[in-house]
Structure 1
Amino acid sequence: MGDVWAVLTNPNVVYILFVIGLWATAAAIYVPGTGFLEAAALACLVLAVAGFTRLPVNVVGVLLIVVAGVLFVVDLHVQSIGITVVGAGSLVAGSVLLFPSSEGLPSLSPWAIVVMVLLSLGFAAFLLAAAVRAQGLRRKAVPEEVIGQRGVVTAPLTPVGTVQVAGELWTAFADEPLAVGEEVEVVALDGLKVRVKRVTTTKGG
């Protein structure tokens, strides 16, 4: 346990955990119900907060990085270059301000900031491209084509998860928990989400 605490006094490690935790949270919001993303986000953010308690932290820096994460999530739905630019600026400013420089105390490496900002922008571009592609597919599908179609659960519905219908992945929800591999039928559309129910098969007598 002492080794863990020692690592968490390194501002570079704490910063990386914090940014990864925010991105895992954003990914979990975009693709809910995987379990892995939620667990990764929770673990990284808990460790980062633990590190914050052992280091001199600028609250403004923390808030700016959180704002950057929120803006990137909003951008997945709005898809505006302006939001992307503001989010990137907020991330850079927050990273620079996060750990105030003090003599005798470890400081955040500029290289850590550069690497994490570039990786964050790359990850944001990846999620944004996936969102644009998914919305393009949704626009092609009219309710009459989707409702009534059957598919398979690919991420557990508890109650929100992911299903594959007609070769496309959809964020889905149901009135009951559904496990991976269960067959479902689309009963309604709710924006970019589908409401599904379990397909029950009856044996002929």
Structure 2
Amino acid sequence: MDILINPNFAYVILLTGVVLAFFSASTPGTGVGEVVSLFCLIFAGYAAYTLSIHWWALVLLALSVPPFVLAVRTPSKWSVYLGLNILFLVAGSVFLFAPEGSLISVSPILALFMSVLVSVVMWAVLRQFITVVTSRPTHDLDALVGAVGIAFSDVFKEGSVQVEGELWSARSEVNVPSGSSVRVVGREGFMLIVEKNQ
């Protein structure tokens, strides 16, 4: 267990856990990121309990949360808020673990590498996330009316169809078996209304 109380290792798993937690909260997925983040934070918590820490650095880490939330919820100013988030996160994590009477115990080279890596990854991923959230749909959904596709599953009150190479949620007034040819006769929002193609 000695490696868990090594400041350099604790620093890396702390940053990994926090970054994964941020991404998992903003873009929920399979749950793998959440589980890995939880284990990293548990190990980092053990290290913080065992090692001497600077409490003001812990406050900086806590202050990194609100800017991230604002970056996700305020697309027009996401870069400003993310910059603050990265600043607090990097500063808090670098100075968190320290022996008595010392300001920093993390290797400066490791701190520089991880700071750059975290900054680039968070910037790139959140920029892509904001682009997806703010971009307008490129599909003219009304143009799908009349198109022919294939029932990806049985379709009645609900189901899936493949139209123009993409999967869509669909419903039909009559049961349409999976694999049948279907024609789009209308839509309700992003739900296609289909009938069996004769």
TM bucket, shorter chain = 0.5 to 0.7
1:158 corresponds to which residue?
none
Give TM-score scaled by structure 2 length.
0.62
Over the matched positions of the two proteins, sequence identity in percent amounts to 25
| 1:140 counterpart (121, 129, 137) | 137
Structure 1 residue ranges without an equivalent (≥5): 146-151, 153-164, 169-185, 190-195, 197-205
| Structure (1 or 2) with the larger CA radius of gyration | 2
Q: Which moved more, 1:44-53 or 1:70-79?
A: 70-79
Q: Alpha carbons of 1:69 and 1:47: their partners in 2 closer, same or farther (altered >3 Å)?
A: same
The CA deviation at 1:13 is 0.7
Give TM-score scaled by structure 1 length.
0.61
Moved over 6 A (4+): 165-168, 186-189
Structure 2 residue ranges without an equivalent (≥5): 143-151, 153-162, 167-186, 192-198
RMSD: 4.0
Q: Alpha carbons of 1:70 and 1:119: their partners in 2 closer, same or farther (altered >3 Å)?
A: farther
| 1:48 counterpart (44, 51, 57) | 44
Q: Distance in 2 between matches of 1:66 and 1:166?
A: 47
The CA deviation at 1:136 is 3.7
Q: Which moved more, 1:124-133 or 1:39-48?
A: 124-133
Highest relative contact order (Cα 8 Å, sep 6+), 1 or 2? 1
Q: Distance in 1 between matches of 2:2 and 2:51?
A: 11
Q: Alpha carbons of 1:96 and 1:141: their partners in 2 closer, same or farther (altered >3 Å)?
A: same
Q: Distance in 2 between matches of 1:66 and 1:187?
A: 44
CA contact 1:23–1:69 (8 Å) conserved in 2: no
Q: Distance in 2 between matches of 1:60 and 1:166?
A: 56
Q: Alpha carbons of 1:47 and 1:187: their partners in 2 closer, same or farther (altered >3 Å)?
A: farther
The CA deviation at 1:19 is 0.9
Q: Alpha carbons of 1:95 and 1:166: their partners in 2 closer, same or farther (altered >3 Å)?
A: farther
